Amino acid sequence: MKVTILQFPGTNCEYDTQHAFEQLGATTEIVWHKSESIPSDTNLLVVAGGFSYGDYLRSGAIAKFSPVMKAVSAYAKEGGKVLGICNGFQVLTEAGLLPGALKRNDGLHFISKHHTLKVENSDNIFLEELNNGDIVNIPIAHHDGNYYIDNAGLADLKANNQILLTYSDVDGTTKNPNGSVDSIAGVCNKEKNVFGLMPHPERAMELILGSDDGKAMLQGFMKSC
């Protein structure tokens, strides 16, 4: 299993992501955004979190024009598996690989804390180790995590089981930290090979650091490749 992790100027979660996947037994490679191709043996491409290009203009808006993004689009269109975490999710929506957009949090504050999430749809390779209704405890750390999609888009997401995770309380009731439409924390594309979420599973790999629920999430990819 080979995981390729993208690095833009301002990315800051590439080494955590690398550590998390290596802990699960994957081989990894970090690829600088100037590269015009991605390694041919890539089984999973991760757009890691951080602040690509300082979030100037909009989060992810400038990163989408980096040389490597053409290769990312081509890889995704051929069915390659892509995961965007936090800023990576923002980059993938800006690039049009995932539906919707991420706005400034409703409370206008940067939120950094552990948050419980509810698994909405586990019939995909990302969450196949989990079951619908499962609650996981995963850190969030974002300023622009307020997911927006119009009503028609939301209906599509629901019809195709594209909503992966929602923010919830420990008992599964909705708890919305940032104003996201329907409390959405993560979605996938219609073809279910491109995934994006604001929470950071790669930061939930050790009980001593508060949670290891991220293991079950990332493990799904390990099994599928």
Partner 1 sequence: MTAIVNVSLKAGVLDSQGKAVHHALDSLHFSGVSDVRVGKQIVLKLNETDKEKAMVEVTKMCEEILANTVIEDYKIELI
67 binds partner 1 (CB under 8 A): no
Q: Output the six-digit token pair for 122.
A: 């586990």
The number of C-alpha atoms within 13 Å of 59 and in the hemisphere containing its C-beta is: 24
Using the Cα atoms of residue 53, residue 58, residue 60 and residue 65 in order, give the sign of their dihedral: negative
Q: Which is nearer to partner 1, 99 or 139 (CB)?
A: 99
> What track of x and - describes contact with partner 1 for positions 101 through 140 (by CB under 8 A)?
x-xxxxxx--------------------------------
Which C-beta is closer to partner 1: that of 32 or that of 65? 65
Beta strand spans in 168-213 (E): 184-188, 194-197
Q: Give the interface segment with partner 1, choosing from 57-65, 169-177, 184-192, 198-206 (CB under 8 A).
A: 57-65
In the residue annotation, 33 being an active-site residue is answered as: no
Distance between CA atoms of residues 38 and 120, nearest Å:
31
Farthest-apart Cα atoms in the chain, separation: 46
Provide the minimum distance between the beta carbon of 72 and partner 1 in the complex, in angstroms, as a whole number.
17
CA 216 centroid distance within chain? 15
Residues classed as catalytic: 86, 200, 202
Residues that bind partner 1 in the complex, under the rule CB under 8 A: 57-58, 61-62, 65, 93-94, 100-101, 103-108, 146, 148-149, 179
